[in-house]
Amino acid sequence: MTLKEMKPGQSGQVVSIGEKGPLKRRIMDMGITPGTAVKVIKTAPLGDPVEINVRGYELSLRKEEAARIEVQV
């Protein structure tokens, strides 16, 4: 399951980040690394962006970024 597919209130653990290159580095610099616990707080009405809680802070990600993050619920 990807982070994009998770519903508000669901929690999970990051398994992998599918993208390579600068986008993967940017996602990892924001604190989203394999093994990190994440919780979906809310999604915008049209699904973009997705607000998550990671490492004690709220972070908003675009749909296409969230779709690249594989999560185990």
pLDDT given at position 10: 94
pLDDT given at position 23: 87
pTM tops 0.95: no
Closest CA to 3 of 72, 51, 73, 67: 67
If one compares 48 and 68, the residue with the highest pLDDT of the two is: 68
pLDDT given at position 72: 93
Give the CATH number of domain 3-72. 2.30.30.90
pLDDT given at position 35: 93
CA distance 12 to 34: 11
Task: Write down the domain spans for the chain.
Answer: 3-72
Q: Is the pLDDT of residue 70 over 90?
A: yes
For residues 48-58, give the mean pLDDT.
92
For residues 51-68, give the mean pLDDT.
92
